[in-house]
Amino acid sequence: MSFENAPFSKGLAIGLALTSIVVGLFDVKYYFHLQLIPHISSHHQYWRLFTRNLAFSSSGDLLLAELIIFNVGILVERHFGTLKFASFVLVSTTLSTFLELVTLFLFRKFGLAQLPAGPSALIYSLLYQYARIIPTVYDFRVFGIPLSNKIFTYILALQMSLSRLPGSVTVALIGILSGQMYRSDIVNLKGYRIPPSVARLSTRFLLPLIGTTRPPRRSNFAFPRPPRSGLSDLLQTDEVVTTARPTAGAATGGNNTTSRLRAAARPSAEAGASVVREWVHELTGRTDGTSAGVRIPTETEISQITSMFPDISREAVVGALQRSPNPESAVETLLSSQR
């Protein structure tokens, strides 16, 4: 999986990692947790309602949050779209912050003194959307208990909710509640969108900072190939069986230079194709004998024997090497064919 079509999830993951590292380096973690007494009630530090969602004070919580964002946030953002997903993050964070403040006020007499730093409520609100809208990929059973591929993500979330009791489990419940409220569309929360001007500014100034969101390039080679060197081997590489769709230039034949290069490399490509067929036959168990006993000659062997027999075509040299256990036997075969 990659951050393809999920730039906001990538920015969220990078931002949380950077802020959490900076908070740890400068030893200012005590500014980022939420505590009703005395920070809110006596000191009126209302800015904590904002700063507590900027960074995690624990490296373990940061690691779990990053894993959940990578496995959950990307899928939800692709389902929502980037604009709706960013709006969801803003609405869910605001709603969960309000619920956290109310919870601290109501349950302070029951020992709930503070809530840990970090946007944990947003993580669990995101998990609620993931559970509701993302289908399972596969199902399995453990001791007769039916499970799905989502169980691994839920285990990470459970570990995060039990890290700093009772505040961590309280934040988890608040996050699930805020996610449910967003999903149920109370007071038209799902219809809110970030203003277009803010979206344009973010696209212009913030999107270049997170880097590319293109998927990683995958090889088109259908079968592994040994490393090669030299111009003739470079020409052979153009004819390797691939899984890529033919381009317009390949469909029309390309320019004259490309056609000549491919024509020069076609004999070696046919020899390579016979090796591929033999490999497939060995893997599938086919014993039709069409290419039995074929071995892969090296370019050095082909060059040596070609220089010894300049009047014999390359195809014949390659065929002799493929049918012979060693170069000496191939030389004897070629000598006997000239008598």
279 and 204 in one domain?
no
Q: What pLDDT is stored for residue 273 in this prediction?
A: 54
If DSSP states are collapsed to H, E and C, what string results for 46-81? CCHHHHCCCCCCCHHHHHHHHHHHHHHHHHHHHHHC
141 - beta bridge partners?
146
3-state secondary structure 15-53: HHHHHHHHHHHCCCHHHCCEEHHHHHCCCCCCCHHHHCC
| In-domain check, residue 173 | yes
Domain assignment of residue 222, yes or no:
no
pLDDT value of position 162: 92
Enter the tokens of residue 213.
Answer: 């969101």
For residues 30 and 106, membership in a common domain is answered with yes
Domain boundary among 210, 243, 258: 210
pLDDT of residue 238: 44
Q: Quick one: pLDDT at residue 234?
A: 44
Distance CA 172, CA 54 (A): 17
225 domain-assigned: no
The answer to whether residues 196 and 265 belong to one domain is no
Per-residue tens of pLDDT for the chain, all 339 residues: 678 889 999 999 999 999 999 999 998 888 888 888 888 888 888 898 898 899 998 899 999 999 999 999 999 999 999 999 999 999 999 999 999 999 998 988 888 888 888 999 999 999 999 999 999 999 999 999 999 999 999 999 999 999 888 889 999 999 999 999 999 887 788 889 999 999 999 989 988 888 877 776 666 655 555 555 544 444 444 444 445 455 444 444 445 555 554 555 555 545 555 556 666 555 555 444 444 456 778 888 888 888 888 878 888 888 888 888 888 888 888 777 766
Is residue 64 within 8 A of residue 159, CB to CB? The reply is yes
Q: Are residues 22 and 154 in the same domain?
A: yes
pLDDT at 214: 75
Alpha helices (runs of H) in the chain, residue ranges in sequence order = 7-25, 48-51, 59-68, 74-80, 82-107, 120-133, 151-161, 167-183, 196-201, 231-237, 248-252, 256-284, 299-308, 314-323, 327-337
Same domain as 138, residue 200: yes
pTM > 0.75: no
Output the domain CATH number for residue 19: 1.20.1540.10
Pair (241, 200) in one structural domain: no
One domain for residues 164 and 257: no
Number of structural domains found in the chain: 2
The boundaries of the domain holding residue 11 are 7-210
Are 205 and 331 part of one and the same domain?
A: no
156 and 239: one domain?
no
